[in-house]
Amino acid sequence: MRTDMADIGSEETARMDVVYEKERVTIHPTQYGSGRISGKLRLYLQLGSLFLSWEPNEGVNSFSTSSVSAEIEKYRNLYTIQALPLSDVRFIRRHTPTFGLEYIIIVLSSGLAFPPFYFYNGGIRELFATLKQHVFIIRSDDDPNVFLVNDFEDPLQKSLSSLELPGVATVANAMSRQNSFSFTGSVSEVRHGDDAKYGGPSTMSEYVSKQRRKSNDPGRDISFQVLEKFSLVTKFARETTSSLFRENHSSGSHAYGRQKQEYVLDNKASDKYADQLITPDDASLSSDSVERGNPLSVEEWRAFLDPEGRIMDSKALRKKIFYGGVDHVLRKEVWKFLLSYHEYDSTQAEREYLAAMKREEYEAIKSQWKSISTTQAKRFTKFRERKGLIDKDVVRTDRSVPYYEGDDNPNVIVLRDILVTYSFYNFDLGYCQGMSDFLAPILYVMEDESEAFWCFASLMERLGGNFNRDQNGMHAQLLGLSKLVELLDPSLHNYFRQNDCLNYFFCFRWVLIQFKREFSFDQIMLLWEVLWTHYFSEHFHLYLCVGILKRYRLRIIGEGMDFDTLLKFINELSGQINIDRAIQDAEALCTIAGEAGADCIPPGTPPSMPIETDGGLYLQEDDVL
């Protein structure tokens, strides 16, 4: 550990006891998430006083561009904190958004504010626990996220802090609001001042010492643009954190994306409310409802097509659909692309030819079971049982939707015919309960038996694993969900572990039919077309699960729910989930998790295309229906 010679002097060899140490505590000197400097934060005792240090690791983030890397390296030493006495710290502001990285801002008595420190591996709770063992900390009355720091070395501060008098806290709060200085401003001074030009202070510690000496003028720092300065610190932290959500995609200019970032960063929940039970509409979770973009319109759709009908920019199209959905009049055409019935680079003529060929193929497959006589059916047990199960399911599928309601509805007959035909087309997989839930919206949109069949068959190429006898597809998804919760909300995952809920079977229905029972018919069409874009992830539905669980985490933990209670609670959420907010939360979580989130999900996990085996895609035992 290096020490600040100006402060330690000849006692540099004094014993140092490290009481807290955390790796991957990171600063973002630019407003680009890729331009970050990761380092080690330490608290240590020396000569009876507590010191803080932060030392950057060698090299910069490997994802930085050459220009960003050069800029960061140029000022690397500036951000080093070699030996900061806690007696010089006025207060620490703690930020713990529901979604996003936790960070702190340290403000000194001189008015200087260090850059936000982002804790990529957690550890803020342990940091404050350690601080409380060695210094007195008062939580601000005005802002529960501000902690006023008082060092043991000041007897008067120690006495006043121990009394916790309201008057003392009020005075301290006023001082904390006054002693505020923006990091962006301090960096600007160093970069453009004489010291920067002529080899002045090379580290933040030296700069702090210089500011400390300047602060001998009692009027210089205390009243220097006090409110504006602290707002600049907060703005810098907010903009820097916002960039973490933008660095992997370009949706930041979209209204939906902007509101997502505001929700993530301006969440008002804090430790003060940790024991309160919350509802999804609680103001502490979201200050405003999410406004999604407009659905893909006919004019916009036409703009994506070249003169021969090819889609010129499939990624831009998928992005548009992800953020706004599809106008219903276009769904019949657009869903065929999302479900891979048509290729994005196919021409209109090629699609018309394909439709004619596929119609003939469908009729040929359908004729296989239509031609089975009653006598033959008596000797075909599996056919009788599968058809019987389908007959029972279709009359219970979406009957409240006008398209399927009423007795002797011909659309219900078409629904049954498609499912029986599919059981012959994919005889290994056959039919399982839940398939009718996927088909009903597709048939409603297509209004064509052949096209609905092929779109459904294409979807089952990805989701067929949900219905395997061995349930490997479901187990893989629930395992991925477990790892995602562990990554994105370790405390909630630990609660599930302690209550024997780690199998995540309480989310089984969500995953099996992708929230079909949780939303209305119109909402599920919107959600599914968002999922089918695969714009952020093929497994975006798992991030939806995580987001909803996080929404209700305080209630789950606060009520001490065991597995049975949790399962009942999850099922009762049907019709109660805000779909726009759920998509927003999932997007934020997916962006935060990044590659680490993708690594949580085993290869071939639905809806990824299955990994073929010598025995075929869908291994089933003979007695499987």
List pLDDT tens digits, range 397-428.
999 999 999 999 999 999 999 999 999 999 99
Q: How confident is the model at residue 192 (pLDDT cuts 50, 70, 90)?
A: very low
Q: How confident is the model at residue 252 (pLDDT cuts 50, 70, 90)?
A: very low
The two structure tokens encoding residue 492: 């909630």
Domain boundaries, the chain: 17-154, 298-465, 472-600
The fold of 472-600 is Cyclin A; domain 1 (1.10.472)
Q: Is the pLDDT of residue 504 over 60?
A: yes
H or E segment and range at residue 26: strand 16-27
The β-bridge partners of 399 are none
Q: What is the pLDDT of residue 16?
A: 85
Q: How confident is the model at residue 133 (pLDDT cuts 50, 70, 90)?
A: confident
Any idea which residue has 């039970």 for tokens?
Answer: 277
Q: Is the pLDDT of residue 237 over 50?
A: no
CA dihedral 64, 68, 74, 78 (to 10 degrees): -80
Q: What is the pLDDT of residue 389?
A: 95
Task: Report the C-alpha gap between 496 and 567 in whole angstroms.
Answer: 12
Q: What is the pLDDT of residue 71?
A: 59
Mean pLDDT over 39-63 rounds to 81
CA-CA distances (angstroms) from residue 548 to 246, 270, 419, 506, 518?
Answer: 22, 19, 32, 13, 11
Q: What is the pLDDT of residue 618?
A: 46
Closest CA to 336 of 363, 319, 317, 323: 317
Task: Report the C-alpha gap between 116 and 28 in whole angstroms.
Answer: 8
Please give the single-letter amino acid code of residue 36.
R
Q: What is the pLDDT of residue 520?
A: 97
Mean pLDDT over 432-440 rounds to 96
Closest CA to 230 of 166, 174, 167: 174
Q: What is the pLDDT of residue 611?
A: 62
Q: Mean pLDDT lowest for which of 64-68, 87-91, 129-133, 492-496? A: 64-68
Q: Is the pLDDT of residue 262 over 80?
A: no
The two structure tokens encoding residue 51: 């010191």
486, 501 Cβ separation under 8 angstroms: no
Closest CA to 454 of 304, 340, 557: 340
The β-bridge partners of 38 are 26
Q: What is the pLDDT of residue 66?
A: 52
Q: What is the mean pLDDT of the chain?
A: 77
Q: What pLDDT, in 10s, does the model give residues 24-46?
A: 998 877 654 456 788 999 999 98
Mean pLDDT over 289-297 rounds to 77
pTM above 0.75, yes or no: no
Q: Is the pLDDT of residue 609 over 50?
A: yes
Higher pLDDT, 603 or 189: 603
Other Cβ atoms within 10 Å of 207 Cβ, number: 20
Q: Is the pLDDT of residue 144 over 60?
A: yes
Q: What pLDDT, in 10s, does the model give residues 558-592?
A: 999 999 999 999 999 999 999 999 999 999 999 99
CATH number of 298-465: 1.10.8.270
Other Cβ atoms within 10 Å of 229 Cβ, number: 22
Mean pLDDT over 273-299 rounds to 53
Q: What is the pLDDT of residue 171?
A: 34
Please give the single-letter amino acid code of residue 470.
D
126, 20 Cβ separation under 8 angstroms: yes
* Percentage above 90 pLDDT, the chain: 52
Say whether 105 sits in a helix, a strand or coil. strand
The fold of 17-154 is PH-domain like (2.30.29)
Q: Is the pLDDT of residue 449 over 80?
A: yes
Q: Is the pLDDT of residue 549 over 80?
A: yes
Q: How confident is the model at residue 273 (pLDDT cuts 50, 70, 90)?
A: very low
Q: What is the pLDDT of residue 320?
A: 96
Task: Report the C-alpha gap between 285 and 279 in whole angstroms.
Answer: 9
Say whether 117 sits in a helix, a strand or coil. strand
Q: Is the pLDDT of residue 68 over 60?
A: no
Q: What is the pLDDT of residue 99?
A: 60
Q: What pLDDT, in 10s, does the model give residues 314-348?
A: 999 999 999 999 999 999 999 999 999 999 999 99
Give alpha helix (H) positions in 267-347: 298-303, 314-324, 328-338
77, 199 Cβ separation under 8 angstroms: no
Task: Report the C-alpha gap between 409 and 406 in whole angstroms.
Answer: 6
Higher pLDDT, 360 or 277: 360
Mean pLDDT over 160-171 rounds to 37
Mean pLDDT over 297-314 rounds to 96
Q: Is the pLDDT of residue 523 over 90?
A: yes
How deeply is 480 buried, as exposed, middle or buried, from its count of CB atoms within 10 A (0-12, 13-18, 19+)?
buried
Please give the single-letter amino acid code of residue 301.
W
6, 29 Cβ separation under 8 angstroms: no
Task: Report the C-alpha gap between 526 and 511 in whole angstroms.
Answer: 17
267, 286 Cβ separation under 8 angstroms: yes
Q: What is the pLDDT of residue 292?
A: 74
149, 131 Cβ separation under 8 angstroms: yes
Query: Are both 17-154 and 472-600 of the same fold?
Result: no
Closest CA to 415 of 427, 403, 425: 403
Task: Report the C-alpha gap between 18 and 184 in whole angstroms.
Answer: 30
Say whether 339 sits in a helix, a strand or coil. coil
Q: What is the pLDDT of residue 73?
A: 65
- State the Rg of the chain over Cα: 30
Q: What is the pLDDT of residue 135?
A: 86
Q: What is the pLDDT of residue 138?
A: 82
Task: Report the C-alpha gap between 105 and 229 in whole angstroms.
Answer: 13
Q: Indicate the angle between helix axes 410-425 and 348-370, nearest 10 degrees.
A: 90
Q: What is the pLDDT of residue 134?
A: 85
β-pairing verdict for 89-95 and 117-119: unpaired
201, 195 Cβ separation under 8 angstroms: yes
Q: How confident is the model at residue 443 (pLDDT cuts 50, 70, 90)?
A: very high
Please give the single-letter amino acid code of residue 47.
L
